[in-house]
Amino acid sequence: MALLLDTDSVGANDRVDWWCERTATLFGAEYSIEPGKEKPFSIALEVAQAAPLLVFSCIGSAHRAIRKGDSGKNPAIVAHLQLQGHCTVRTEGKEALVAPGMLTFNRVSESGDLHFHEGYRQICAVLPESAFGIESHVWTALAGAVVPTDTGIAALLADHLRSLAGHPEVLDQESSAAEIVAYTIGLLRATVRAVGNQPTHENRGMQGYHRGRIRRFALAHLHLPGLSVEFISAALNLSVRYIHRLFEQEALPLMRWVMKERLERAREQLAQADSSYLSIAQIAYAWGFSDHAHFSRSFRKEFGYSPREARNNGTEPSCAARVS
């Protein structure tokens, strides 16, 4: 029989604590919820189980669930199928933005962070890690990956999970539950192997989306001397490691690109007649340089002439390509 858990059954001030207790029982992991009791929080969960498989469908409000890993407990793997809303998943040093129709896998024994940005719906399947039989190199490739479910074995798995969530009573039927569980495990294992064995599987569109976000944010804050990878990380809720990884294959590292953009804009302003009332130092400060000498050295290194020469020539060179 399906188990129904709903935060509406308890008082508003007790919901976060009540839910953390239930997740510890269900998943064998400790979670903390942000924001805490001071903000509205609601989750409704329908759980169906036939050992060793646990399937649940969930509707919840925006929140952040931080999982405290514990390798000493029975390790389990959770497959998340996102139906509505967006969720940022951080696990094992990786980060991914999960959109509706996407599938992710993570290990309960590892620390993790699930940030639901708005109200959401999802279906999850939980199995002991031993049921997958995943080689370490396959799991390394799979952890934190975002898997589209519009084609191939992942599409078949997504359809099956939707059917299970819609008919949880089938896992109560002794005559068929074992076969259904075996079929579900087979689909999960096949999906894991298909995705984990691909040479590259990260969602390139999502990487491009994040690079665009980072560049747009940086361009809007070029005037801040404190603009840094750490500053961008905190503002956009992306890890420093993930930001560096996003720009590994780009022509320029992120902060070198920021420097180039600042210098280009300073050069443009130096060449403009209506900026002649501003000193070179003022223009440098306007584009995030806190040290006039450092600005002059960087400018000469980039363009081959000094800021003063750029102003005296009154020439406005072509701009670098801008981010749309």
Per-residue pLDDT band for 293 (boundaries 50, 70, 90) equals very high
Per-residue pLDDT band for 60 (boundaries 50, 70, 90) equals very high
pLDDT at 267: 92
pLDDT digits (tens, 9 = 90+) for 188-209: 888 887 776 554 434 455 677 7
Residues 282 and 152 placed together within one structural domain of the fold: no
pLDDT at 257: 94
Q: Is residue 69 part of a domain?
A: yes
CATH assignment of the domain containing 212: 1.10.10.60
Q: How close are the terminal C-alpha atoms of the chain, in Å?
A: 53
Residues 152 and 251 placed together within one structural domain of the fold: no
Structural domain boundaries enclosing 123: 3-196
- Show which of 196, 212, 239 is a domain's final residue: 196
Task: Give strand pairing partners of 107.
Answer: 77
Report the share of the chain in percent with pLDDT over 70.
85
User: Average model confidence (pLDDT) for the chain?
Assistant: 83
Q: What is the mean pLDDT of residues 115-140?
A: 81
Per-residue pLDDT band for 1 (boundaries 50, 70, 90) equals low
Q: Is residue 281 part of a domain?
A: yes
Q: Is residue 324 part of a domain?
A: no
Q: Check residues 222 and 91 and name the one with the higher pLDDT.
A: 222
Residues 114 and 65 placed together within one structural domain of the fold: yes
How many domains, in total, are found in the chain? 2
CATH assignment of the domain containing 54: 2.60.120.10
- pLDDT beyond 60 at 22: yes
pLDDT at 117: 87
- Show which of 140, 161, 196 is a domain's final residue: 196
Q: Is residue 214 part of a domain?
A: yes
Q: Is residue 318 part of a domain?
A: no
Residues 63 and 158 placed together within one structural domain of the fold: yes
Q: Is residue 271 part of a domain?
A: yes
From 1-15, 244-258, 289-303, the region with the lowest mean pLDDT: 1-15
From 84-98, 200-214, 244-258, the region with the lowest mean pLDDT: 200-214
DSSP assignments along 240-287, one per residue: HHHHHHHTTTSSS-HHHHHHHHHHHHHHHHHH-GGGTTS-HHHHHHHT
- pLDDT beyond 50 at 141: yes
pLDDT at 140: 62
DSSP assignments along 151-179, one per residue: SHHHHHHHHHHHHHHH-GGGGG-HHHHHH
Report the share of the chain in percent with pLDDT over 90.
35
Residues 98 and 154 placed together within one structural domain of the fold: yes
Q: What is the mean pLDDT of residues 277-282?
A: 93
Per-residue pLDDT band for 135 (boundaries 50, 70, 90) equals low
pLDDT at 179: 92
Selection from 30-39, 115-124, 134-143 with the highest mean pLDDT: 115-124
pLDDT at 200: 42
Residues 18 and 135 placed together within one structural domain of the fold: yes
DSSP 205: H
- Show which of 196, 229, 257 is a domain's final residue: 196
Residues 76 and 121 placed together within one structural domain of the fold: yes
Q: Is residue 299 part of a domain?
A: yes
**What is each CA distance from 57 to 12, 66, 126, 167, in whole angstroms?**
22, 19, 12, 11
Strand residues in the chain grouped as ranges (E): 3-6, 30-34, 43-50, 53-60, 63-68, 76-84, 87-91, 94-98, 102-107, 112-116, 120-128, 147-148
pLDDT at 314: 60
Residues 238 and 286 placed together within one structural domain of the fold: yes
Residues 169 and 21 placed together within one structural domain of the fold: yes
Selection from 28-37, 88-97, 116-125 with the highest mean pLDDT: 116-125
Residues 303 and 237 placed together within one structural domain of the fold: yes
Residues 131 and 258 placed together within one structural domain of the fold: no
Residues 74 and 211 placed together within one structural domain of the fold: no
Per-residue pLDDT band for 319 (boundaries 50, 70, 90) equals very low
Q: Is residue 286 part of a domain?
A: yes
